[in-house]
Chains A and B, each alone.
Chain A
Amino acid sequence: MNPADVAQTVLPLSSSDVSIFALFWQAHWIVKSVMLGLLGCSVWVWAIAIEKFKLYALTKRAMDSFEQAFWSGQSLEDLYRSLSSRPTHSMAALFVAAMREWKRSFESELRTLAGLQARIEKVMDVTIAREIERLERRLLVLATVGSAGPFVGLFGTVWGIMTSFQSIAASKNTSLAVVAPGIAEALFATAIGLVAAIPATILYNKFVSEVNKQALRLEGFADEFAAILSRQIDERAQG
């Protein structure tokens, strides 16, 4: 047989489509589910990221405007009245919680000034914890995808290569053209895993540092406000 004829008869077998969708459709269902899961992870990661970007921008702006109002010399009573009417977040929530405790203690018949300082600090601690929890919510998803994504993709790859080797053994043909589509399809799983994991890791690190910054700012405000209230308590106790 003429070698050229052999080459021509072999070629059509190997001319398989290697576009993205073809890679997906050729895959084993386990590899398919891995790919789909990783794609979903990626979508979810970016949804969380967009939401967090918005949340942190809003929180920062709210903190800035509140601090401006707080240090503007406005009466704290007025500020409290204007803020307590609607649900608040971050620094305003901190202020409202502390003021509520303060007002309750003074407006009741028995003026319980002795433990007021401790109570105010406790209330503010709880509020800070709640606020940080709100800021940190869903960040763990990013961390999980960032660390587990490559492994999940690798699992898909290993499975795909396994099945492609099995089919090589079945077809008894080891030419690269027969092997290549299966391996490309398998590697596609790792590629999706990395596509999902790399942004997740980067965004997670960025958001964690953002949360730490805002938590520090909240704690600083809480300490300052506690000092102000403590001075007021002492003045009223003497007066």
Chain B
Amino acid sequence: MKTGLTISAIGHAALLLWAAFSFTSQPLSAAAPDSLPVDIISDTQFSQMMAGSKTAPKTETPKPLVDAFGEPKPAESAVAKVAEKPEIKPIPKEEPAEQKPPEPKPMEPLVEKKPPAKVEPKTDPIAEALKKEDAKKSAEAKAKAAAEKKKKPQLAFDPDQISALLDKRDPQRQASTGDTVNKEPSLGTTTGSASTLSQSEIDALRSRLAQLWNPPAGALNPQDLVVRIRVKLGRDGKLVGPPMVLTSGQGSVFEAARDGAVRALFQAQPFEMLRLDHYDLWKEMEITFDPREMIPG
């Protein structure tokens, strides 16, 4: 037993010694995080930052370019320059171009006539005939050139002039703009949603009901007199069916308050302060009558 114990003890000591030297912790190579500038602000500063300001400068945002919305405006003609003034269209000019070739014809008789009148004896007929031919040819050539010049705007497919078909207009055409994409951001809170009754409507309703509801004065526990009533309203702002009282309470004081609230609702109709385009929001409402809010101050 002794030998075993000594061998074991020596073995453990050796193992511990080896562990002590080999078991070193190497720091993990984690990159130091980038430091972020942090400002400490108070609650009021934060709420001021979040609250909307009526005097905030209106930021002009450029209208975004959209591809999906808006009506595309196709170019009227592929050749026409994009400019405000429409160019004179070349089409009406084409007809005179065709008519022009006959023009030199009246010249022929003129040329024919002249020689007999003035220089007939001097010139021999051959030279005259040659001249005539020359004049004819030159006139015809002129006419042809003119005709071709006028014909150019007419788009005939010419493989040598493919480059002419390319759209070489300056990039000045108007890009189509969106109809509804660019919404001016409101200056209110970010959590504000449009589909609730506006504060003015709610306030108007509240003040009207407050005028008509007389909660029992001098109640010991005003919090017991809170009455919640669900009302259904028609499009004309009048009650549809009797109001449903949601709160239950005991005692004659509460009953008085409850009946007074129901009475106030009946008296207050029609609720004209509610706008018809919000009908979905006020066709069914839950109204809370709280005497604590009625007490002024």
Instruction: Please list the residues of chain A having a beta carbon within 8 angstroms of any beta carbon in chain B.
Output: 2-4, 7, 18-21, 39, 42-51, 54
Residues in B1-37 with C-beta less than 8 Å from chain A = 1, 3-5, 7-9, 11-12, 16, 19-20, 23-25, 32, 35-36
Q: Which residues of A contact B32 (CB under 8 A)?
A: 7
- Are B8 and A44 neighbours in the complex by a CB distance under 8 Å? yes
> Chain B residues with Cβ under 8 A from A50's Cβ?
3-4, 7-8
Contact B4 A51 (CB under 8 A): yes
In order of increasing CB-CB distance, the 3 nearest A-B pairs are A46-B8, A50-B4, A3-B35
Distance in Å from the Cβ of A208 to the closest Cβ of chain B? 18
The prevalent SS among residues of A at the interface is: helix
Q: Which residues of B contact A19 (CB under 8 A)?
A: 20, 23-25
B12-A18 in contact (CB<8A): no
For the complex, would chain B's binding face be called helix, strand, loop or mixed by DSSP majority?
Answer: helix
Can you name the residue of chain A whose Cβ is closest to the Cβ of B7? A50
CB distance from A136 to the nearest CB of B (A): 15
Which A residues lie within 8 Å of B12 (CB)? 39, 42-43, 46
8 other A-B residue contacts (CB within 8 Å) besides A19-B20, A19-B23, A50-B3: A20-B16, A20-B23, A43-B5, A46-B7, A47-B7, A47-B9, A50-B4, A50-B8
CB closest chain-A residue, reference B36: A3
Most A CB contacts (10 A, CB to CB) among B1, B8, B32 go to: B8
With A3-B35, A7-B32, A18-B25 already in contact, the answer to whether A47 and B20 are too (CB < 8 A) is no
Compute how far the CA of A48 lies from the CA of B5 in the bound complex, rounded to whole angstroms: 7
The digit string for B161-179, where 1 denotes a CB below 8 A from any CB of A, is 0000000000000000000
Chain A residues with Cβ under 8 A from B11's Cβ? 46
* A43 close to B8 (CB less than 8 A): yes
Q: Considering the complex, give the chain A residue whose CB is closest to the CB of B24.
A: A19
Asked whether, in the complex, the Cβ of B20 is within 8 Å of the Cβ of A20, the reply is yes
> B72 to chain A: closest CB distance in Å?
54
Residue of B whose beta carbon sits closest to that of A4: B35
> Closest residue of chain A to B19, judged by CB?
A20
Task: Please name all residues of chain B whose beta carbon is closer than 8 Å to the beta carbon of A18 when the two chains form the complex.
Answer: 25
Distance (whole angstroms) from the CB of B29 to the closest CB of chain A: 15
A-B contact pairs, 12 of them (CB 8 A): A3-B36, A7-B32, A19-B23, A19-B25, A20-B20, A43-B5, A43-B9, A46-B11, A47-B4, A50-B7, A50-B8, A51-B1
Mask of B44-87 contacts with A, CB within 8 angstroms, 1/0: 00000000000000000000000000000000000000000000
Asked if B24 contacts A47 (CB within 8 A), the reply is no
Of A20, A39, A48, most buried by chain B (CB within 10 Å of CB) is A20
| Neighbouring B residues of A42 by C-beta, 8 Å | 12
A159 CA to B181 CA, complexed, in Å: 64
Q: Which residue of chain B lies nearest to A6 when distances are taken between CB atoms in the complex? A: B35
One of B5, B19, B23, B25 near A47 (C-beta < 8 A)? B5
Q: How many whole Å from A204's CB to the nearest CB in chain B?
A: 16
Min distance, Cβ A2 to any Cβ of chain B, angstroms: 8
Nearest chain A CB to B140's CB is how many angstroms away? 93
Q: Which residues of chain A come closer than 8 Å to B24, judged between CB atoms? A: 19
Cβ contacts under 8 Å, A4 to chain B: 35
CA distance A7 to B34 in the complex (A): 11
CB pair A54–B4 under 8 Å, yes or no, is yes
Task: Tell me, in angstroms, the Cα distance from A72 to B240 when the chains sit together.
Answer: 120
**B240 CB to nearest A CB, Å:** 60
Instruction: Report the minimum CB–CB distance from A1 to chain B (whole Å).
Output: 11
- How far does the alpha carbon of A20 sit from the alpha carbon of B16 in the complex, in Å? 8
B35 CB contacts on chain A under 8 angstroms: 2-4
